[in-house]
Each structure stands twice: as structure tokens, then as C-alpha cells.
Amino acid sequence: MVALLLTAPEALAQRAEPPPTERRALPHVPGGSIAVELGEGEELHAATCGLADAAFTGDTTLALIAPDGQRVAFNDDACFSLGSSLRFVVPPGRSGRYVLQTECYGGSQDCGGTLALQVGPQSAETRVPRVRAAGAMRGVIGLEGEQGALVGDVMAEARPLGPLLVRFGGTPLGIGGGDRGGLAGGSLSLAVGFDEGLVAVAAGAGISVLATRLDGQRAQETPIFVTFARLGRLHMFHFEAQLAIWSFGDALEVLSFHAIARLPLGPVELFVRGAGGHDGIALGEVGAVVWSGDDRTVGISVHAGGAGVFHQPLCRFDVPCRDQRWIAGPSLGLGVELRPW
């Protein structure tokens, strides 16, 4: 058993600068264990892939056991391989000696390699930002001689107290071209829930904004109910989805859905996004967010794909509108995302 000893948390608090990350490379042995002293708020990153000096043969696994004997983290396959990668941030009141167990998948003995260990302050990859905001605007090149359209969206999240999540956002709003211009889609909503890092859920209500059904009828600022969920940590692979439901007449209908999957690769996050529904907006795109600095608080996003706006000429709600049609084509846009703290 190898012990990795760290400076006590009380001593760390007296330093003006955060303590350096301590790194070590050890053999990955089937049935082995490594004792690690961890203080509150510190992060352990152990891996047989994806870190300097890490290497593996066979199918490795890693498990982390807390001082009370509870298994608090486990990983089998990572880095798109049979290697392993495990991260853990010590929660309040859980300081002590943790044990990292090294095994082979299925209890076999056919694995090995080098286990890379890093212990230090919490990294940007595991930090749950207290405030998050994002916005993007895309230009749509209309086909069939149309003048084009714009599609934009905004979002803001806050965690004012512990895991409490307050999320403000909306489905994409489209501004169509053509002879007289027009609006399609769009809703604003406020949802409240919780975010514990790996899982976030929220529910709330809002209102549609100039929403246009595909049959041409107008929703006239209909109240909506929204649900939101995210699986995975921000700055790590995660999936987000939002569903908005409205009441039109005597029926409940899906106003819109919005889903995005993101895969971080160092300071760059790749993403795939889709949105659509009865609000007159269709969007499918891929892109990337390029983050600045090690703390990754400011990111610039690039969006490319295709979009459509159900063109609704501006008119009064009590007067039938004419010339309703889709403006669709390739889209290209830019955005910004902020995670200040």
C-alpha cells in the first residue's frame, strides 16, 4: 500500500496562492490499493488514460473508498478505451484517508499499466459554476429565392443557495425575411429545481411569444409549462434537454423541445444541438465552444448547420395572415457563454 500525504487543510488556508497540484505515477496492480489523504474541497484525479504518464493494458477499473468504507466513485471505461479515469471532490466534513482500489474488469488478472494520480484544488472540470449565461445568433440563408432569417436564443442559470437551481431561458426566436418580415417561435420561461453536479432537474412555467402553429394559427402569448434536465457535469460530457408544453384550445401540445450534447476536449467543447416543435422553429447544428484561460469562465461558440423559420408576416391577431411559408436553409452563427464563478 502506498500513501500519498498532503498538507493539512488548515495550513493550506493560510497560503495566499492555491497549493500546487501533487502528481505521482504508480503501477496499476490487479487487487491493489493506494491510500490517499484528502482534505475538504480537494480533488483527486486518478487515471490509466488521459493523463501524463498514464498507461494501461487490458481492461482496468478504479474504485474510491471513503474513510467510512462507502464506495464514493467508480470507473471502468474512459478515454474511448478500456482504460479508466476517476475524479472525486471531497465534500464538506468528509476529510480523511481514502483508498483507491485498482482492479481488472470482471475480476480477471489480465490488466496493468501505470496509474497517474493528481491531488490538488478543485479543477474547472468538476466545478459547478454558481452563475452561467449563454446566447447565440445564427443567420439562415434562405433557399428558393428567400431573403433569409435570423435564429437566436438566450439562457441564464443561477445557484443562489447550495444545489438550488434557478433557470431562465427560452426556445429559439426566429425573425424571418421576405417582403414584410415576420416572427416565429420563441418562449420565455422560469424554472426552479436542483443541481447536485452530475444531475440537474427543474420545472416551471412561462409564456409563448408570438408563437405560430404550423397550421398558421397564432397562440397569442399562451401560458406554457416547461421541464429541464441535465445529465453529466458541465465541462465534462453532458446532455441537456428542455421540453415546453402549451394549452391550445382544449388540448395540451408540445410547443417545443431543445436538446444539446457536449463533449469537452481540453479548452474546446464540441456540441450537437437540435430544436423544433409547434413554435415554427426548426434547428439542427454542430459547433464548438472555445474557452479562454484555465478557469474557463468565458467561451466563444461557433454554430453551423441548418435552420428553418415558419415565416409569419407581421399582422394583427384578429386579422388572418397570408403568405405563410417556411424560410429554410444552411445556418452559421456565433455566440458567447459565461461561467464567471
Can you name the residues that pair with 337 across neighbouring β-strands?
134, 299
Backbone angles phi, psi at 80, to 5 degrees: 55, 40
Q: What is the pLDDT of residues 85-115, one digit of tens each?
A: 998 889 888 999 999 999 999 888 899 999 9
Q: Count, in order, helices (H) and strands (E) of the chain.
A: 1, 22
Chain segment 177-226, per-residue pLDDT in tens: 555 455 666 678 899 999 887 789 999 988 776 555 444 455 456 778 88
The CA distance from 245 to 208, in Å, is 10
* Domain 131-338 in CATH 2.40.160.40: yes
Reported in sequence order, the residue ranges of 141-250 that DSSP labels E, i.e. its strands, are 149-158, 164-176, 182-195, 199-208, 223-231, 238-248
Tell me the whole-structure pTM to 2 decimals.
Answer: 0.71
Q: Give the closest residue to 202 by CA, choosing from 234, 230, 227, 171.
A: 227
Residue 40 identity (one-letter amino acid): E
CB 19 within 8 A of CB 11: no
**pLDDT value at residue 276:** 80
Using CA atoms, how far apart are residues 26 and 324, in angstroms rounded to an integer? 67
The reported pLDDT for the residue numbered 7 is: 35
Round the CA-based radius of gyration of the chain to a whole number and report it: 25
What DSSP assignment string belongs to 99-112? EEEEEEGGG-S--E
* pLDDT value of position 336: 96
Query: What percentage of the chain reaches a pLDDT higher than 70?
Result: 78
Angstrom distances, CA of residue 316 to CA of 45, 131, 319, 320: 59, 39, 5, 8
Q: Which residue has the higher pLDDT, 212 or 1?
A: 212
**Per residue in 312-329, pLDDT tens?**
554 544 555 555 667 788
Which pLDDT value is given to residue 339? 86
Which grid cell sits at 126? Answer: 468538476
List the chain domain ranges.
Answer: 2-121, 131-338
Cell (9 digits) for 278? 409547434
Contact between 101 and 44 under an 8 Å Cβ cutoff? The reply is no
DSSP string, 3-58: EE----HHHHHT-SSPPPPEEEEEE--TTEEEEEEE-TTEEEEEESSSSTT-EEES
Please state, in angstroms and rounded to a whole number, the distance separating the CA atoms of residues 119 and 88: 10
Between the CA of residue 126 and those of 43, 113, 302, what are the distances in Å?
Answer: 9, 26, 24
pLDDT at 16 over 50: no
Helices (H), 258-339: none
Interval 234-270: pLDDT, tens: 777 889 998 888 765 566 676 678 899 998 887 899 9
Cα–Cα distance measured from residue 200 to residue 195, given in angstroms and rounded to the nearest whole number = 4
Model pLDDT, residue 264: 86
Cell of 322: 397570408
Could you tell me what percent of the chain has a pLDDT over 90?
38
> pLDDT at position 284, please?
93
Cα 281 to Cα 149, 231, 244, 328, 335, distances in angstroms: 11, 25, 13, 10, 18
pLDDT recorded at residue 5: 38
Measured in residues, the chain has a length of 341
Q: Which of 5-9, 24-28, 267-271, 322-326 has the lowest mean pLDDT?
A: 5-9
pLDDT band at 288 (very low <50, low <70, confident <90, very high): very high
Task: Share the mean pLDDT of the chain.
Answer: 80
Top CATH class of 2-121 equals: mainly beta
Local confidence band at 2 (pLDDT 50, 70, 90 cut-offs): very low
